[in-house]
Structure 1
Amino acid sequence: MDRLRQRADFLAVANGARVNSPAFVLQSLDRRSLGRDDLGPVRIGFTVTKKNGNAPERNRIRRRLRELVKRLDPVSMQPHHDYVLVGRRGALSRDFTTMLDDLRIAITKPARHTAKGSDNGSDKGRRPNPRPGPAASRKPD
């Protein structure tokens, strides 16, 4: 199992499917869907944003996520896929065995695809409401 290190790889996975959990978000992408004949190993990346706390807290979240992946059976991950675990603040207080169960379920669960540009109820193609002009905003005399 390899690690994702380049920003472009993280961005590509962000456009793939995702599964939410209280402690993390699992993003996944089948590399073959990108038109590549990439038969390489499963790759995984970890990220924790600054809104999750200061540096020691973020590092602790990241270490817990890495340990989850180490303890996970590699056979359960789908071949030719990239995965990104996005840590949440709940990872600091959540029981480790519960997080491991969450990860096992997230990998086997059919993920919700949230690619940009797909028709997922967004405002794509809708007209914005016109703003009232200065004359329309005045009260009648």
Structure 2
Amino acid sequence: MSDKHIITSRPGFIRARNHGEKAISKGVIIQAVRRDGADWRYGLTATKKIGNAVTRNRVKRRLRVIAKQVLAPIAMSGVDYVLIGRATTATSSFDELVTEVKKSLRYLHRKLGEAEK
């Protein structure tokens, strides 16, 4: 997965928040929004609310691995995904997080598919 799949600017995150669909689970929140373009992108967020810098970095590392292993194979083209870490993201088992993300992505893909029609 190359760097071209990363949302690099604030407007991409804001657009996902304001105009996208959201799936909330215990360990992660995922926002997804359709956009013009053929490729998919992802962004990661971990706010100060979830802990100190060490905790936030651990959360971002875990989300980055999830994006590469789980999101990359099933991502819809033309969609931006924003993965938002929660306090439990750092402490949950990795298998739980993967299961939650897969379930959330199925839900979001269903919602985005309905929005197309």
- Taking structure 1 as the reference length, what is the TM-score of the superposition? 0.70
Shift of 1:111: 4.6
Could you say which structure has the higher helix fraction?
2
Is structure 2 residue 78 aligned with structure 1 residue 80?
A: yes
SS in 1 for 2:77: coil
Matched ranges for 1:35-114 at <5 A: 38-72=36-70, 74-109=72-107, 110-111=110-111
Shift of 1:40: 3.0
- Taking structure 2 as the reference length, what is the TM-score of the superposition? 0.84
Q: Distance in 2 between matches of 1:50 and 1:66?
A: 18
Deviations 1:73-118 (A, max 9, x none): 5241111000000100101111101101111111111459xxxxxx
RMSD between aligned alpha carbons?
Answer: 1.6
Structure 1: unaligned runs, 5 residues or longer = 32-37, 113-141
Identity of aligned residues (%): 31
Structure 2: unaligned runs, 5 residues or longer = 113-117
Tell me which amino acid in the other structure corresponds to 1:4: I
SS in 2 for 1:93: coil
Matched ranges for 1:109-128 at <5 A: 109=107, 110-111=110-111
Q: Distance in 1 between matches of 2:22 and 2:10?
A: 18
Change (3 A) 1:54 1:100: same
Tell me which amino acid in the other structure corresponds to 1:102: E
